[in-house]
Amino acid sequence: MTRRIALVLLLCLTVFGCEGDYTIYDVHPPEVVYVDVPIKVPVETPGDGGDVWVDSFEQPFSVDGVDIVWLIDRSGSMDRFDQAVIDGIGQMMNALPAAGWRLGITTTDHINTTSVSHFPLVPGDTVADAELIYNSLSNFAHREAGFDALHGYLINNAYNQSWLRDDAALLVVFVSDEDEQSSTQFTSYPAGLQEFIQWYGNRRASVFMASIVNVPIVESVCDDWYSPNDIGDRYIDATNAFNGVVVDICEEDWSPGVAAASSQVEPHEEWPLSYTPIEDTLIVFEDTVPMADTDWVYNAATNSVEFLVVPYEGSLVEIGYVIDYDAGDDDDSAGDDDDSASGN
């Protein structure tokens, strides 16, 4: 029936010219437009609530031994840190693997580092041995040029070639209460800084760095005010370029930072948490994939996650949890930056 009516209409238009005006409309199918509309979805977290925090780290690669160099500012203003330096070296010795490391001690004076001839500390040596070497460093080695000093120590010191190993990893620790002031190899800023970073990065297949320096005043725990010129900006920038560890020189206890610096050279089997978690909110990711609950365990005594299955070398490990403020963690510390959902 429908077909017959259509034919009649067509015939009318063609043969008889049917009276009246006719308009033919071009009808398109409706266009569908997809629009993203943000919505807020409440997410319930177990426990009593609180800020969500994520501690993260990149799992280091195993190394076949590590050569370590502490470069220490021996200018007069550093005298008050003498015991802290000795304790810090001792803490690193205790935190390092049982074998495979060598630890040299020198100054940030690039003239002095080309001539020092101390055989490094090795497993079995004691803090007393470290103190003997430290006390033998010249007090006249007052230059604060850590980058130039490291260059001289690694390249221009013939004695050091007897113990430095090309196939070992390299960890450098700078200690100073003033900024880096190289004037020979790595002078200008920021070009000199970038030149140093490139040069150091090419020293070994695996390189690591730590700096124990004056941090920005707003972050420092120093009791006495110091000049902004004393902040170790170049040391901090270089250390950050290698994802290293920066320690406030005014901290009474350097051991957490020193231990973190030491742990850079071996895959982590345990990771300390920044805050106390509500335990049943803990979740661990390896390269964004949740790890099985049987692969790790939370140790409340040390407030750390221990890995029963060690994450793969080079993987990104993230540990998320809700902060338990009832345990005494400071609420302000997690939210000052409006970024309480991330951490390092």
**Rounded Cα–Cα distance for residues 136 and 104 (Å):** 13
Measured in degrees and rounded to the nearest 5, phi and psi for residue 307 equal -95, 115
* pLDDT tens digits along 136-164: 886 666 788 999 999 999 999 999 999 99
118 and 248 share a domain? yes
Dig out the tokens for 160 from the structure: 């050091």
> Does residue 178 sit in the same domain as residue 325?
no
Q: 55 near 318, Cβ under 8 Å? A: yes
pLDDT digits (tens, 9 = 90+) for 209-259: 999 999 998 888 887 767 778 899 999 999 999 989 999 999 989 988 998
Residue 36 lies in a domain: no
Strands (E) across the chain are located at 52-58, 66-72, 101-107, 169-175, 207-213, 245-248, 270-272, 283-286, 289-290, 296-299, 304-307, 316-322
Q: Are residues 99 and 136 located together in one domain of the fold?
A: yes
In a domain, 161, yes or no: yes
Torsion angle of the four alpha carbons 235, 238, 243, 247, in this order, in degrees rounded to the nearest 10? 0
pLDDT tens string 36-62: 444 443 444 444 557 899 999 888 776
What is the average pLDDT score of the chain?
Answer: 82
Reduce the DSSP state of residue 142 to 3 states and report it.
coil
230/95 same-domain check: yes
Q: Are residues 277 and 148 in the same domain?
A: no
Q: Are residues 155 and 207 in the same domain?
A: yes
What ranges make up the beta strands (E) of 181-325?
207-213, 245-248, 270-272, 283-286, 289-290, 296-299, 304-307, 316-322
pLDDT-based confidence at residue 31 (cuts at 50, 70, 90): low
Q: How would residue 330 be classed by pLDDT, with cut points 50, 70 and 90?
A: low
- Does a structural domain hold residue 186? yes
Q: Give me the mean pLDDT over the 59-67 stretch.
A: 81
Higher pLDDT, 199 or 4: 199
Q: What is the pLDDT of residue 57?
A: 86
Q: Reduced to 3 states, what is the DSSP secondary structure of residue 216?
A: coil
pLDDT at 306: 95
Q: Are residues 131 and 85 in the same domain?
A: yes
Residues 232 and 313 in one domain: no
User: Is 83 within the bounds of a domain?
Assistant: yes
Last residue of a domain, one of 232, 263, 294: 263
The CATH number of residue 118's host domain is 3.40.50.410
Residues 257 and 331 in one domain: no
Of 30 and 200, the one with more pLDDT: 200
Pick from 8-17, 229-238, 272-281: least confident: 8-17
Q: How far apart are CA 242 and CA 264, in angstroms?
A: 11
Pair (252, 287) in one structural domain: no
For the entire predicted model, the pTM comes to 0.68
Q: Does 81 fall in a domain?
A: yes
Domain boundary among 217, 232, 263: 263
Give the torsion through C-alpha atoms of 47, 51, 52, 53, to 10 deg. Answer: -120
The answer to whether position 13 is within a domain reads no
Is 7 a domain residue? no
Task: For residues 203 and 148, state if they share a domain.
Answer: yes
Q: 246, 263, 280: which is the final residue of a domain?
A: 263
According to the model, what pLDDT value does residue 183 have? 84
On whether residue 93 sits in a domain, the answer given is yes
Number of domains in the chain: 2
Domain that holds residue 282: 52-59+269-335
Say if residue 152 is in the same domain as residue 292. no
